[in-house]
A and B are shown apart, each in its own frame.
Chain A
Amino acid sequence: MSTDLKWIRDTSNPSERKWEEFYRNRWQHDKVIRSTHGVNCTGGCSWQIYVKDGIVTWEMQALDYPMLANGVPPYEPRGCQRGISFSWYLYSPIRVKYPYVRGALIDLWKAARAKHEDPVEAWRSLVEDETARKRWQTARGKGGLRRADWETVLEIIAASTIHTIKKHGPDRIVGFSPIPAMSMISFASGARFLQLLGGTFLSFYDWYSDLPPASPEVFGEQTDVQESADWYNAKFLAVMGSNLNMTRTPDCHFAAEARHNGTKMVVFAPDFNQVAKYADEWLAVNAGQDGAWWMAVNHVLLKEFHHEQQVPYFLDYAKKFTDGPLLVELKEENGVHEAGQLLRADRIDRYSKEENGQWKFLVWDRAENRVKMPLGSVGFRWGKEKGKWNLQPKDGMDGSAIDMELTLLNSRDDVASVRLDDFAEGKSIVRQVPVKHIKLADGSTVTVTTVYDIMMAHFGVSRGLGGEYSSSYDDDLPYTPAWSEKFTGLGREAVIRFAREWGRTAEKTNGKCTVIIGAGINHWYHANLMYRGPITALMLCGCVGVNGGGLAHYVGQEKLAPQESWSAIAFGKDWHGPSRLQNAPSWHYVNTDQWRYEKAFTDYHTVPMRQPKDSLAQGHTMDTQIRAVRSGWLPFYPQFDKNNLDVAKEAQQAGAKTDQEVGAYIAGQLKNKKLKFSVEDPDAPSNWPRLWFIWRGNALMASAKGHEYFLKHYLGTHHNSISSEELAKDSVKEVAWHEVAPKGKMDLVVDLNFRMDTSALYSDIILPAATWYEKADLNSTDMHSFVHPLSPAVPPCWQSKTDWQIFRSIARKVSELSERHFPEPVADVVASPLSHDSPAEIAQPQMLDWSKGECEPIPGKTMPSFGVVMRDYRNLYNQYNSLGPRVREKGLGAHGTHYQCADFYDQMVATGPVKNWGGKTYPSISEDKEVCNTILHLASVSNGELAYRSYKNIEEKVGLPLAHLAEKMRSVRMTYEGLQTRPHRVLNSPMWSGLVEDGRPYSPFTYNVENQVPWRTLTGRQHFYLDHPAYIQFGEHVPTFKPKPLPTQYADLTFSVKAGKTKMLNYLTPHGKWHIHSTYGDTERMMTLSRGIEPFWINDKDAEEISVNDNDWVEVHNDNGVVVTRAAVSARIPRGVCIQYHSPERTLSVPRSPLRGNKRAGGHNSLTRTRLKPNLMVGGYGQFTFHLNYWGPVGCNRDTHVLVRKLPELNW
């Protein structure tokens, strides 16, 4: 060694290295415990929490995931930059350590309590004094919080609860907590409390615009997707609107690893986003125009792989598993036909006596040259005769084999010209399809074609028939590659090559093409159509229900694996009948008065020009919403313009005893207009929601599309909207119009939180909640197949409590006050919409409106159903703490499954812990850990015996063997303590459509494809074609392309004035890198690694035009509100588009806005508001039937535009 290089020292003098303890001491710790983060990131990562000196010091990922099947990369480690920052929160200055209450309220409360011995009286005296009520409402969000003690705040909450029930009815008490899967016991706490009370629970998945409406439309499934490990099995990955690095951080490696195993990966994004870095090709598609790309892809796939080359696997798949071969009725007018509904079996003489014949469908049998009625449709599902709900290619009447004809091209009687809509150009196209003329039972003849033939015509694939078919990919006709260019900005060669690589991969691998899709697509107004594009490509190539194939939609941690037992507890079903579960998009649209700020939806939503009278595809969304409630399509609470307890009493006084009689009484009252739905007059004080509980979510900011309208109409405090609340005045017909919209509908807003986020800052009472390292809970996700525990590394810090304990305390206080106010149980009448996975799926073959005399109001058929629930408020606390007897009596189920579990219930009573009261013994669920174990003990994914029973039950309906799928796992019983020891994969269960045995990665619908179990749709098959009459009116019966609303049509810039150098940009709010929604974004760590703020990303040339330099302050505004932040100028952002990543708090580093009179600027949702898509409101028809978080309009927000300028002066 050279003399100059002597620094490699031998350990000859070890004492010189004793100092190394300096760092060794830091590493040493006292305890490590397993927990995770309940944050709706879908990660569901197992974490080791390190404790030293009784303080949580840091966290590291757990590594002990069991391996999946051979040849699939392991799951370790899981956990991202956000999760690993969580320990900061526990002892941080933003931690809510004590209860807080708004100063203005507590002062008034103390004075009222001095006057009134009864807390309920005290609350009444405050809310009925408009000056007092305004006093604390206008103070909301303006500081002045006071630390309080638990007993005081519990008393205010309980008094408000009792008063609201007595005065207005329990359904004016509302709760919002999102995404149960992230911490399901914590979610269940308030949800259970509210359902035992009779309160209203708001949905989240649809409100967050996480729900892809195309999933229920096509699959009859809320969402079911592959776990991330299955990406590895894909040989072609198309990623759109989903930034894997950013939002699927712990899963992203599977995509990289797949690439190194020969998978091709293509990323679609307007910006060069993080995942584009990974791609073989980045396709810089114009924002929101991805739909056009897939229309052209489908054109090529149909032409090259279905027509010119008929890939046997593709055609066979289409026959077995899609509605392709089903017959569609064509209705003629002046020589041109319109595609109508599927031809119903009962219209044919042969099948006219068939049970539920209106809900069974027909195909053309090639062998026997006649129509046949295949098994598996919804009519078979809900018939008396069991065992025919399956996908065997057999006739439902005689059991004969069916050789389905996918196209009538070769067996046609004739051709017919069909009118198709080109929404981009606003015109129609006429193309011929092959048809048959079929004789009906009534002697008339009907012209039919197949769904597949309609698809060929719609996509413009020329098969030698007449009409406006393209002759080449270069023709500018819908939906050729050349046509797509003007929307996507991407060349036709790229589409053609993509489609060929896609088709060839699927052909070679039997369907291993995967589309990873997410919020970047799902937040557009026409997201359902943008999803149906790629879904069609998947179905055409047999990719759904295949490992390595299918639609991987990841937006929101919606998958609550042990759903059966959990939902019984969460929604109080162990004690009571119908729950009050409300779709939040409708609720907020109506109650925040956002409907008042827009005109008819056809201003921005293109629909076919020719519309029948009374078409649903015209008018104002608010009126459609009323129609949807009236017809039982959607729920709405508050229900009536009258207290439900009074309605129940009046029904009883009128002699109604049974649910049926009460229903008939209410139907009569509604028909005679003696009773009204609240939704018909949402601005009348009698119809306002009054008391709002928020927990585990940032309901007033992160998820509040139309945040400024929340501030204005819910809270009655400052806001920055400059739009006019009179815009709707001339276009609404049904809703009652009030000249002045109410401000401050909510009497009291209560927030449970561990941090002072925007929702906490604007609430009246803030309750200190335990963090995820301080409580027992459970977490599951669709990204992987494990159930993880949350565990207390330390007890709840300071005065915080777990959510379960907080709602238990509130229940206790409510029961105490009920001694005086509700000494006896009272009857409450609950209205419920028509429900998916029930016979109500076959309630409404046509859209008939009883209020217009088109049919009779029949509860549960043409309108909501009505049920009576006895509320026992004195025992609310006892009920909360005990697993009720209905679990034992009725068994459990979900997604149409069912099993009995009385023996397991009895076992719990025998082994304890139990609760004894009222002379009976119940399993105890008063402690968080008891709830965890109860859920695991009674769910099919964690108790193998119950999975087995559930399969046995479904076998009867399907008529094919299925229970073998659970045989191997029958003895498995998971416990909370077991999960703390090591992650455990869920078991096969018929509640879910994927299979996981032997380490196989979960992929949805493999259960259906491999076992001939129908999808839970109208036809039992995946739907290309949606024949609901409203879908035909909206022109969305076929997978089509609709243009994105123009800024002028959308009217978010009507009142906004350009001040100085200003640019208009399309405003996008995708998920960000430094936060999960708003959580973590306020931590020092994340703020340091970003720029200390959530910046406004803008293209460098756009920025130059308005003289904005990197890190300059900018003012971003539209009619809805204003944001002031700093600019991140980057070439990575396309021109005309700007991004503020979802979602910053408005509590950190937000200056004032000169454009709004120097008021504090808002958050990202200050610029948004929600628009509901009316065709997503229909119900009582196959998969178009309501279920919470499954069906209904979504809270989309992405089409909006903003004006941006450099901030003239910085003012804090």
Chain B
Amino acid sequence: MNVRSQIAMVFHLDKCIGCHTCSIACKNIWTDREGAEYMWWNNVETKPGTGFPTRWEDQDTYRGGWEVKEGKLRLRSANKGYVLGKIFHNPAQPSIDEYYEPWTYRYQDLFNAPEGSDQPIARPVSKITGKEIAIEAGPNWDDDLGGSPVYAENDPNLDSLSEEQREQLFAIERLVMFYFPRICNHCLNPSCVAACPSGAIYKRGEDGIVLIDQTRCRGWRACVSACPYKKVFFNWKTGKSEKCLLCFPRLETGQAPACFHSCVGRIRYLGVLLYDADRIEEVALSSDENLIEAHRSMILDPHDPQVIRQAQSNGVHDSVIESAQKSPVYQFVKVWKMALPPHIEFRTLPMLFYVPPMSPVMSMRKGDVLTQSDQGLFHEIDNARVPMQYLAKLFGAGHDAKVRYALKKQMAIRSYRRAVTVGDIEPHIADQMLREADCTPAEAEAIYKLTSLCTFEERFVIPPMHREEALEMMEDPMDHKRETGFGVMDKPMRGS
């Protein structure tokens, strides 16, 4: 057992309102600069939809993540030799068209236009070329099912559906959407790290954050291809790749990452998980059907004395172990089994988990009118508008059992709380629903509280980062206290 600590995350999709505040919090701080305009380390997608970059989930095209070949784990983007051979032209690399060409407007024309015969306007111009631009794509182009015949209907997760089935999904009886916020998953088996020819990408030992060393990166972009989530971006100004850093400067000072802090839907949770790093390969080699369970089994009980001892001997600080014991992520992922990794079949073993969303009940057409397909106060999960099979594609490697479990529990807890607070559901019926959902009243209370009443401190349990100890390895922290900040900074440039 090789116990490591990882800062892990849960996004509760049922609560996500699709507002994108998270994306902007991130952009304001990290990617609001030349070369990074098109990067959205945090983005929010409407599902069904093709996302950003468009159809990123389609690994037949993008060749991201891992595949199992002859019992061995291999990068789909092939081995390092392949990557090095293709560095100047990699067909699996998204082009600017799959992202979008960033633009602005000639705002100054509104001030400076000479008097004419009609009203002046500010026309859109490319931020790359400065020339006038016809806007055909954006980082959130299919937001709220915009262009649904072009985008939503071509969601890769719907690929197995017939055209007729797909059309049905966009008829009023079934029509639905939900939101899918995405950041770097800070995976346990990160394909970006494995793919980097320069060894510039690493996973931090103390917290599992995956970083690209901006001094070592040589801009090969193998990471861009290898990441199946397309969460590594190439900065065309500095010639280096960049990605979500989980706001480590904020975490190191005890603050939640900006996208977490700003999540106004209160859907995000963050905390430490302890896991057994010896099992990465074995878990990643599991069959699709067993992947989730295997992944979950790597996560260790932070109260287990043996785990604690092993963690301590691996240099995990006591305060981090304590933090792991309070981790809301541990509860959602391991104890309650409600949070699931996205596209685990990519086999990077994400450390970001999602609670799948409930959705409204389907309608039925009855003559000229619409009516509901379920008569209960709360409907059955199989009558929800989002097809179970669709969620299974996203969160179950195509298998619906784990998704079904998570949804059933959510619904049972609602009925239970209804019984407690209103009383129009009989207590024995609510109890039975809980039992059928593998839940007890005590667990239901705990889940409900962490879902509904959670405070900032309960959502984000940030381990102390002990910067003094990290710095001490380089210099006397006292010197650092006295000297930090002095010096002249230059803007990052290509070649530096």
Contact = CB atoms under 8 A, between A and B. Distances in A.
A488 B359 CA distance: 22
Nearest to B423: A508
B147 A73 contact: no
B24 A85 contact: yes
Interface string B394-425: 00000000000000001001111111111110
A91 to B, nearest CB: 12
Contacts of B252: 24
B391 to A, nearest CB: 14
A1149 B123 contact: yes
Interface in A197-212: none
Interface string A1081-1110: 010110111111101010010000000011
A145 B109 CA distance: 11
B344 interface: no
Nearest to A766: B111
Contacts of B493: none
A260 B119 contact: no
A1148 interface: yes
A103 interface: yes
B414 A262 contact: yes
B149 A1131 contact: yes
Counting contact residues on chain B (CB < 8 A from A), the size range is 35 or more
B160 interface: no
Contacts of B145: 272, 1130-1132
Contacts of A74: 453, 455-456
A262 B419 contact: yes
A211 to B, nearest CB: 27
A499 to B, nearest CB: 13
Contacts of A309: none
Interface stretch (B226-234, B260-268, B297-305, B317-325): B260-268
Interface stretch (B57-65, B87-95, B168-176, B328-336): B168-176
B19 A245 contact: yes
A253 B266 contact: yes
Given A1-B2, A19-B214, A14 B119 contact: no
Contact of A2 (B28, B135, B250, B280): B280
B265 A253 contact: yes
A1144 B33 CA distance: 26
B105 interface: yes
Contacts of A143: 113-116, 119-120
Nearest to B213: A19
Interface in B253-300: 258, 261-266, 277-278, 280-281
Nearest to B115: A144
A559 B414 CA distance: 34
B171 to A, nearest CB: 8
Contacts of B179: 277
A825 B236 CA distance: 69
A55 to B, nearest CB: 13
A508 B422 contact: yes
Contacts of A258: 452
Interface in B60-115: 73, 102-105, 107-108, 110-111, 113-115
A28 B485 contact: yes
A126 interface: no
A36 B147 CA distance: 35
Interface string A1-32: 11011011111001110111011111110000
A78 interface: yes
B477 interface: no
B377 A7 contact: no
B19 A81 contact: yes
B495 interface: no
A249 to B, nearest CB: 5
Contacts of A235: 418, 421-422
A1150 B121 contact: yes
Contact of B190 (A7, A232, A259): A7
A720 to B, nearest CB: 11
Contacts of B114: 143-144
B428 interface: no
Nearest to B196: A7
Contacts of A900: none
Interface in B404-452: 410, 413-424, 448, 451-452
Contact of B176 (A27, A79, A272, A494): A272
Interface string A277-302: 11111111000000000000000000
Nearest to A1127: B147
Contacts of B8: none
Counting contact residues on chain A (CB < 8 A from B), the size range is 35 or more
- Identify which of B189, B366, B419 gathers the most chain A CB atoms within 10 Å of its CB: B366
B130 interface: no
A142 B28 CA distance: 34
B474 A14 contact: yes
B361 interface: yes
A1128 B371 CA distance: 28
B280 A11 contact: no
Nearest to A93: B107
B365 to A, nearest CB: 9
B360 A279 contact: yes
B20 A81 contact: yes
B338 to A, nearest CB: 12
A1085 B27 contact: yes
B17 A252 contact: yes
Interface string A1114-1150: 0000000000000011111010000000000011111
Contacts of A15: 474
- Identify which of B17, B206, B258, B414 gathers the most chain A CB atoms within 10 Å of its CB: B17
Given A260-B413, A491-B369, A1091-B138, A1146 B119 contact: yes
Interface in B116-153: 116-124, 135-136, 138-141, 143-150, 152
Interface string A242-264: 00110001101100111111111
A542 to B, nearest CB: 15
Contacts of A1092: 103, 124, 135, 138
A104 B114 CA distance: 11
Contacts of A224: none
Interface in A57-108: 57-61, 63, 67, 71-74, 76-81, 83-85, 87, 92-94, 100, 103-104
A5 B474 contact: no
Contacts of A1088: 102-103, 138-140
A54 interface: no
Contacts of B354: none
Interface string B363-384: 1001011111001011100000
22 contacts: A22-B492, A60-B262, A79-B262, A81-B20, A94-B110, A139-B115, A235-B421, A253-B264, A256-B15, A257-B266, A259-B414, A264-B418, A277-B18, A277-B177, A277-B357, A489-B370, A491-B372, A1089-B143, A1129-B148, A1130-B148, A1147-B121, A1212-B121
Given A84-B262, A280-B377, A505-B424, 11 more contacts: A20-B211, A73-B454, A144-B114, A235-B421, A253-B266, A262-B414, A277-B357, A284-B363, A489-B370, A501-B377, A1147-B122
Interface of A: 1-2, 4-5, 7-11, 14-16, 18-20, 22-28, 57-61, 63, 67, 71-74, 76-81, 83-85, 87, 92-94, 100, 103-104, 139, 141-145, 232, 235, 244-245, 249-250, 252-253, 256-264, 267, 272, 274, 276-284, 485-486, 488-494, 497, 501, 504-505, 508-509, 512, 718, 756, 761, 1073, 1082, 1084-1085, 1087-1093, 1095, 1097, 1100, 1109-1111, 1128-1132, 1134, 1146-1150, 1152, 1159-1160, 1212
Interface of B: 2, 4, 14-15, 17-21, 23-25, 27-30, 73, 102-105, 107-108, 110-111, 113-124, 135-136, 138-141, 143-150, 152, 170-172, 175-179, 189-190, 193-194, 201-206, 208, 211, 213-216, 245, 247-250, 252, 258, 261-266, 277-278, 280-281, 315, 357, 359-361, 363, 366, 368-372, 375, 377-379, 385, 410, 413-424, 448, 451-456, 470, 473-474, 485, 489, 492
